[in-house]
Structure 1
């Protein structure tokens, strides 16, 4: 098994332009579906991967892997000069703790529902993590919100039906991970959380109301977004119509239905979301009230202030 874990790490790090921690590597293993190559994974495969990477770097002078001196320790391929020279995001000297925003993360959900509806033509639904079956709970499985774009009104019924039959459906599923703020202190964890819980969707976004303007941070954010296809949305809680997609998500033509099924089996909110989509597609009419309520901009501002 040890050799298999190291082979998986090698495949992930081959295309990574920065050092990655063991949980980061495992998140990308799952997203790419490479974990299916393991005959058995155990309950904490990321810990197994970490242990084997540590031992490999420590005890094997011929190893192809290198490691940083930071905590957490991050790994790279010695042959990848770009990754070997890149500083990991966890360098303590670069991290400045930001004061916590006074509002709660859940107060951002209506702002994202507003943005999704008016600017992505999508209907969004909040996924309550607390409803999940704890026996099957996996790390970083749930997105905070999900959404669907329906082509009704933009495409004729004939085009919608034919495109679906040909495997190029006009419907689009979104996954969103929300944070109150993003800075160097939480970027790595927040970003790979978004990567891990969004592998099933056509487009994935990391969303925040406060995003650091530090040049080094923005450079790392752009690099991560480009490397892994996760888009960045900045919510404006003072002017909802000024919310913006800072970095676009990479469109995936195919849905990862196996991962979607895993999430649906664990969480009733996600099951209900899929049932609602099925019903709306069949009726060719979207029941707006069955998704998260879309407030007007004045009510949104009252919700964050009050």
Structure 2
């Protein structure tokens, strides 16, 4: 429920108390003003609510959603990961009835609209080097994106000149996707992103749900140290997704690391192949990029 949903529920179920509150305040003269006051007080008292009731949780998207759960934060993470292993089972809580695979095309759509990027899914299962359960999680990102820095240039002379002087014509982006981020898993997810995205110009951790203000605060601190950004994915309307924390750009690609990834994974190798073709021809085949 949003804060407004809760305020309306209070107004409907506690009319006498609401009437008394309105009488005590000279500023609350209408029903709408009373409801707006309740909304403001719910938001202002969030820290006290969290301390009084561990079961109350909120998301960090807008509008912020409040919900009640008896699961600990660690249990929520474990349930999410369990769902990844068993795609035929659906957990009871609505926001967990989702797979990471469902988020890849939604993130790709947002990146295409917001930044004109071409995205490619990197499937770690296509790696030749098997490192045991989850061994490749820390090596390969979920998505890689290509940005054509010359896409709005009108002059072919400029494009040819940039090619000849070997100036930069593109940037590569790397993304690690999660369904849920909370205080229990935020550092592990962040450093997984640091590990598997250190070769790219931009690195982002993207999630459908970001739970609690402390989680977002931790991500801002980590961003200041390591430069990995944060994207909130709107699963219902990808165009409403947003970059909450911008990533810090690296000026150079780590080609040694890219060589390792490309030599072991066919998806990553195909990305590098397309980068090479772009340098040769200056053109991009959009239908070759899929997520």
TM-score of the aligned structures, taking structure 2 as reference length: 0.63
Residue by residue over 1:148-201, the C-alpha shift from the partner in whole angstroms, topping out at 9 and shown as x without a partner, is 001343124443444455564131000000011111111111100000011110
Separation in 2, partners of 1:181, 1:139? 16
**Local SS of the residue matching 1:134:** coil
Q: Give the match for residue 114 of structure 2.
A: 119
Aligned alpha-carbon RMSD (Å): 2.1
Shift in Å, 1:225: 1.3
Conserved in 1, the CA contact under 8 Å of 2:175 and 2:204?
A: yes
Separation in 1, partners of 2:104, 2:147? 18
Q: Give the match for residue 91 of structure 1.
A: none
Separation in 2, partners of 1:267, 1:231? 25
Separation in 2, partners of 1:167, 1:286? 18
Residue by residue over 1:233-292, the C-alpha shift from the partner in whole angstroms, topping out at 9 and shown as x without a partner, is 111012211100000010111101001111111101100111122223322221111001
Deviates more, 1:251-260 or 1:278-287: 278-287
Conserved in 2, the CA contact under 8 Å of 1:173 and 1:201?
A: yes
Conserved in 2, the CA contact under 8 Å of 1:116 and 1:122?
A: yes
Structure 2: tracts of 5 or more residues without a match: 1-71, 81-95
Separation in 2, partners of 1:277, 1:260? 12
**Local SS of the residue matching 1:180:** strand
Structure 1: tracts of 5 or more residues without a match: 1-93, 294-306
Separation in 1, partners of 2:205, 2:215? 15
Q: Give the match for residue 211 of structure 1.
A: 210
Structure 1 pair 248–161 and aligned structure 2 pair: CA distance change class (3 A)? farther
Structure 1 pair 103–157 and aligned structure 2 pair: CA distance change class (3 A)? same
Separation in 1, partners of 2:149, 2:257? 24
Separation in 2, partners of 1:187, 1:228? 14
Query: Counterparts of 1:33-52 in structure 2 under 5 Å?
Result: none
Structure 1 pair 208–220 and aligned structure 2 pair: CA distance change class (3 A)? same
1:184 lines up with 2:183 in the alignment: yes
TM-score of the aligned structures, taking structure 1 as reference length: 0.60
Conserved in 2, the CA contact under 8 Å of 1:168 and 1:253?
A: no
Shift in Å, 1:95: 4.6
Residue by residue over 1:106-134, the C-alpha shift from the partner in whole angstroms, topping out at 9 and shown as x without a partner, is 11111011011111111000011111012
Structure 1 pair 227–290 and aligned structure 2 pair: CA distance change class (3 A)? same
Q: How many residues align?
A: 199
Deviates more, 1:237-246 or 1:149-158: 149-158
Structure 1 pair 205–247 and aligned structure 2 pair: CA distance change class (3 A)? same
1:107 lines up with 2:107 in the alignment: no
Given candidates 150, 155, 165, the residue that maps to 2:148 is: 150
Q: Give the match for residue 60 of structure 1.
A: none
Q: Give the number of the structure whose alpha-carbon radius of gyration is greater.
A: 2
Deviates more, 1:278-287 or 1:234-243: 278-287
